[in-house]
Amino acid sequence: MRRALIGSMAWAALAAPAAWANDTQASTTLGGLIFEQNDQISMDSEDLYLSLDKVRVRYTYTNHGTRPVTLLVAFPLPDVPIEGTDPEWVESSYPDWDTIDMKTLVDGKPVGLMRIDIAKLNGKDIDKRLKELGWPVVHWADPGFAARLNALSADDKSELLGEGLITTEYAPEGEVRPAWTVSTSFVRTQTFPPGVPITVEHSYVPMQGGTVGSGLGRDAREANGGRLDPESEYITKYCVDDAFLRGYDRKRYLPTGAESELVFPLEQWVGYALRPGANWKGPIKRFRLTVDKGEPERLVSLCMDGIRKVSPTRFEVIKTDYEPTSDIDLLFVTFAPLEGGQ
């Protein structure tokens, strides 16, 4: 099934990864960033709002030491896979981080951020090797790189294939493509005064992954006795339950059991890397998550216990002394009118 990026204002034709992250302490090495545990500064609260159009998060921290502490604080983004989100390797299937409109406030005042991009091959930093070759880390941002790569001699390609730097996987027949992933983080230095809580706020436009169509339909469930495959991401990643499927069926099918010809399901995904919030001293003392699906008729599913509906479009969960062990992945299903539909 061909995938597509769903823009915040209109349907578009391509896709991008869609996960974001909690603040976490980092250190720099010759290889880039290392995320560290901090045993002096606590995250007293986290108020997180997730929707298709906006992500907002507000943290409160306290330094429990007797002296100011200055740290490099990182906001890691998801690793970008080698294929982007389009198996045909079109450049626009990769994210453009400049479009997310990220803003950060510390105690209500704007602060600047620096972006760090790190190339990885099987989890190992390969920035040095790419520099030797004169290759860009963020290869999709170089419009001529694909052509230069495929213009290499057969011997050069063979050597680079053996090294693992390029691959024929996901590439058009007869071509090669980069085989590394890219890890991106926004970083800043932050001073935490002793005993004085500080507030940090981030807001940005999420880049959404999506697909035209859905694997949630009855035809996909028939092979498993009318239920979703328990090993599918619908279950393991998004915790789709029977109530969600009943809502899906009401919108997708007519009373006769036939598919409605008036609407078509569109899936969208937004993720948030919550686990970095466990890198501070102790648990998150108060955690609040608000999920806004935007439209009453839109469906949303995620793996989070204790969540409750608080309005026609909003869901909320509040936890105390919370230690996140997994990230948040949201599945939205919108039923878009087909041409001629109402």
Instruction: Read off the pLDDT of residues 98-138 as tens digits, 9 standing for 90 and up.
Output: 777 888 999 999 998 888 899 999 989 999 999 999 999 99
Give dist(CA 275, CA 326) in Å, integer.
Answer: 6
DSSP per position, 96-165: -GGGS--EEEETTEE---EEEEEEEETTEE-HHHHHHHT--SSGGGSTTHHHHHHTS-HHHHHHHHHHTS
Give dist(CA 196, CA 66) in Å, integer.
Answer: 11
pLDDT band at 10 (very low <50, low <70, confident <90, very high): very low
Cβ atoms of residues 252 and 221 within 8 Å: no
Q: Pick from 59, 71, 85, 29: which is nearest to 207 by CA?
A: 85
Provide the pLDDT for residue 165: 97
Provide the pLDDT for residue 2: 31
Q: Which residues of 299-314 are buried (b: 16+ CB within 10 A; e: fewer)?
A: bbbbbbeeeeeeeebe
- Helix (H) / strand (E) containing 307: none
Give dist(CA 227, CA 143) in Å, integer.
Answer: 44
Residue 328: φ, ψ to 5°: -105, 130
294 conformational bin, left if phi > 0, alpha if psi -120 to 50, beta if neither = left
pLDDT in tens, 238-292: 999 999 999 999 999 999 999 998 999 999 998 887 876 667 888 999 999 999 9
Give dist(CA 9, CA 274) in Å, integer.
Answer: 26
Provide the pLDDT for residue 81: 61
How does the average pLDDT of the chain come out, rounded?
Answer: 83
Q: What is the mean pLDDT of residues 223-249?
A: 93
Give dist(CA 78, CA 283) in Å, integer.
Answer: 23
Residue whose pair of structure tokens reads 């869901």 in the numeric block? 315
CB-count burial class (<10 Å; 0-12, 13-18, 19+) for 170: middle
What helix, strand, coil percent values describe the chain, rounded to 5?
Answer: 15, 40, 45
Q: Pick from 225, 208, 319: which is nearest to 272 by CA?
A: 208
Provide the pLDDT for residue 197: 96
Provide the pLDDT for residue 277: 64
Q: Which amino acid is at 159?
A: E
Considering just the CA atoms, what is the radius of gyration of the chain in Å? Answer: 22
pLDDT in tens, 153-170: 999 999 999 999 999 987
pLDDT in tens, 49-63: 999 999 999 999 999
**Domains within the chain, CATH numbers bracketed:** 19-126+180-337 (2.60.40.3680)
Token duo for residue 28: 């720099």
